[in-house]
Chain A
Amino acid sequence: MIMNKLANMDRLRWIELVLLAVAFIVLLIIPQISGAATITMVSRIMIFAVFAMAYDILRGFIGVIHLGFALFIGGGAYFVGILFFHQGATIPMLLLAVVGTTIYSAIWALIVGKISGKSGMLATAMITMAFSEIMRNLMTVWRTVTRGEDGIAFRVPAPFNDRTMMFYACFIFMILMAFVLYKFTKSPTGRVWQAVRENEQRAIFLGYNTARARTIALLVASIVGGLAGVMFGLNSRFVNTEALGMQMTYDAMLYSLLGGAGTLFGAILGSTVVILFQNFLLDLRPIHAIFERWLLFFGALYIVVVMFMPHGIMGYYNAWKEKRAQKKRMAKEAASS
């Protein structure tokens, strides 16, 4: 039966599958063929891919602009960091961090859900930005525990202290989270998300419980974001107030936008492209000092993507595929009539 399916697939699907298989295999063997720096970087790409996918659930699916998304990656990282630093780097502490992060993320999800239900997109954007700033502010002044802006460096428990094991953990994490999020988007709730994004009024008229759908989206995205934060802490072995900074949120926004808002997997693409690009530019530093200023390129990339390719890489690719399929269908109909 599989052979039948394979035979009926057209060439494009073949190419896609082959590319995916190649990517899969490459990822699997990276730790065997690269140095520590590359392993850490790719681990980071995978962690941020999850972070960006979670962001896409909010932005690309239900249509909430959450400018305080750093709350989750920072929150997870701080839970891990504080517990490991003050209570020792052990697996029980890791589990405690996961539980703590999940509860923390859920609370923020419910607060934002309450607000965004009553206010518009703009107000939600402003208040979520303010939320992450106060968290950052709180962590800054809580110097006894967090060492403020200096941050804390900590050990991580085995097996995560081995770079290769950490890499595979991130890999499994990414595949798992991608699967979970994908399942959500294809579920009945996911369909309500789509309906709300297109036209909330109409979704309400159609009888959908938009408030509940929004709450679910926020819970899912926030908790997954928080777990990404836990992985981030494990991978970096260091956390400071930058983890709760606006730049984290901006990163998630750009990765998901560039990849394609609403495509979910586009976020993986976006994360890869931008982080690789960033490394590439930083490598050009010896040539000219301007390459030190990554943020300039980052901001410019932002503006360019919003103005000229708002649907992102996957978005345009999907549209192109759709057009191609349509042409084929019309040709088929013309031939058979």
Chain B
Amino acid sequence: MANILILLFNGISEGALYFLMAASLSVILGLMGVVNFAHGTLFLWGAYVFRWVYVYIFPNNFILAIICATLAGFLIGLIFEKVFISRVYGNIGAQIMITLGLSIVFTELVRVIWGPSALVVGRPPMLAGASHLEFDFGTVIISHYRLFVIIVGVVVAVLGHFLLTRTRVGMTIRAGVQNSEMVGALGININRYFTLVFAVGGALAGFGGALFAPLSTTITPLSGNQFQLMAFIVVVIGGMGSFVGSALGSLFMAVMIALIGWTIPDISLVAPVALMALILIFKPQGLFKWR
């Protein structure tokens, strides 16, 4: 019993990271119709920039390292959108190819700059511990850093929801997700919102990567791939373009993976993908009918 609680807890902390990736990917997809195959690369850069700042630039300054990583995600996302993606609006095939090409180049750049081997990342001392909760059925170990990640995930979810539903910018984005052409016909420069959403999406991905680095304590140039794949699955489960759906979808995924990991660990990747396939065949609008 204790084991499954630990698995659930750990799973949900990963789920928080899936959420950060998926929510940004989903809004980008919903608003611009762009599937960003370079999203995992932004996550990767977040992780590497975090480590670089945390170890070399502002040593042991956790907050500053996270800020720099998020900024890196924002800037790279901005460049991607303005220089490359904006040239291929409406052409789905070209978008896929361009974002794939960008992901190949920028992942390779990580190898060039920081090397192909795994790098170690430490956790900030304040969050490095763990609490042991004693129950009748056993001890549940709560890692403080994982708890931190979950809390951050929840805060971002609430903040994001607030921004989307209570601000004018959020309202414009929600309208644009539905019908970006009409938003333009109302006199609003929708292209500026495209750029904003993509850059902020990049920032969220970078932020996720920064949180991920101390979580897994090692990072490699392949670190982004798993999360990008999971993000795609969550986007499909939660409904493309839905912020709330991403949150629910991430939670669902996290729990599902934890439970599968408890029973048959080896197929822990097969099940989510199979689920995604089934949803695409039978319920393409996603499991959660919210939005």
Contact = CB atoms under 8 A, between A and B. Distances in A.
A and B touch in the complex (CB under 8 A): yes
Interface of A: 59, 63, 65, 67, 111, 114-115, 118-119, 121-123, 125-127, 129-131, 133-134, 137-138, 141, 250, 253, 257, 290, 293, 295-296, 298-300, 302-303, 306-307, 310
A303 B280 contact: no
Contacts of B112: 290, 293, 296
Interface string B31-49: 0010100000000000000
Interface string B172-204: 000000000000000000000000000000000
Interface in B81-108: 84, 87-88, 92-94, 96-98, 100-108
A230 B75 CA distance: 44
24 contacts: A65-B96, A118-B284, A119-B284, A123-B236, A123-B280, A125-B96, A126-B236, A126-B276, A127-B280, A141-B266, A290-B112, A293-B111, A295-B104, A295-B107, A295-B111, A296-B109, A299-B102, A299-B103, A299-B104, A302-B97, A302-B98, A303-B84, A303-B98, A306-B101
B74 interface: no
Interface of B: 29, 33, 35, 84, 87-88, 92-94, 96-98, 100-109, 111-112, 229, 232-233, 236, 266, 269-270, 273, 276-277, 280-281, 284
Contacts of A134: 269-270, 273
Main secondary structure, interface of B, reads: helix
Given A115-B280, A253-B97, 5 more contacts: A121-B92, A129-B232, A133-B269, A296-B105, A306-B94
Contacts of B87: 307
Contacts of A295: 104-105, 107-108, 111
A67 B37 CA distance: 11
A270 to B, nearest CB: 14
Contacts of B105: 295-296, 299-300, 303
A65 B284 contact: no
A18 to B, nearest CB: 34
Contacts of B92: 65, 121-122
A134 B29 CA distance: 24
Contact of A127 (B93, B107, B277): B277
B280 A119 contact: yes
A257 B97 contact: yes
Contacts of B270: 134, 137-138
Given A127-B276, A307-B87, A115 B281 contact: yes
Contacts of A141: 266
A307 B84 contact: yes
Contacts of A123: 236, 280, 284
Contacts of B96: 65, 67, 122, 125
B100 A302 contact: yes
Nearest to B268: A137
A219 to B, nearest CB: 18
Contacts of A303: 84, 98, 101-102, 105
B280 to A, nearest CB: 5
A257 B101 CA distance: 13
Given A123-B236, A250-B100, A250-B104, A130 B276 contact: yes
B103 to A, nearest CB: 8
Contact of A118 (B104, B108, B281): B281
B117 to A, nearest CB: 15
A114 B281 contact: yes
A302 B104 contact: yes
A257 B83 CA distance: 21
Contacts of B35: 122, 125-126
Q: Which 3 A-B pairs have the closest CB atoms?
A: A302-B101, A299-B104, A299-B105
Given A133-B269, A307-B87, A59 B281 contact: no
A141 B101 CA distance: 29
Contacts of A298: 104
A131 B281 CA distance: 14
A293 B88 CA distance: 27
A300 B109 CA distance: 11
Contacts of B273: 127, 130-131, 133-134
A63 B92 CA distance: 11
A118 B280 contact: yes
A74 B200 CA distance: 37
Contacts of A306: 88, 94, 97-98, 101
B280 A300 contact: no
Question: Which of A59, A63, A119, A290 gathers the greatest number of chain B CB atoms within 10 Å?
Answer: A119
Given A115-B281, A126-B232, A130-B233, A296 B97 contact: no
A296 B221 CA distance: 14
B48 to A, nearest CB: 16
B79 to A, nearest CB: 12
B233 A299 contact: no
A302 B276 CA distance: 28
Contact of B232 (A119, A130, A137): A130
A300 B269 contact: no
Contacts of A133: 229, 269, 273
A327 to B, nearest CB: 30
Contacts of B233: 130
A306 B112 CA distance: 24
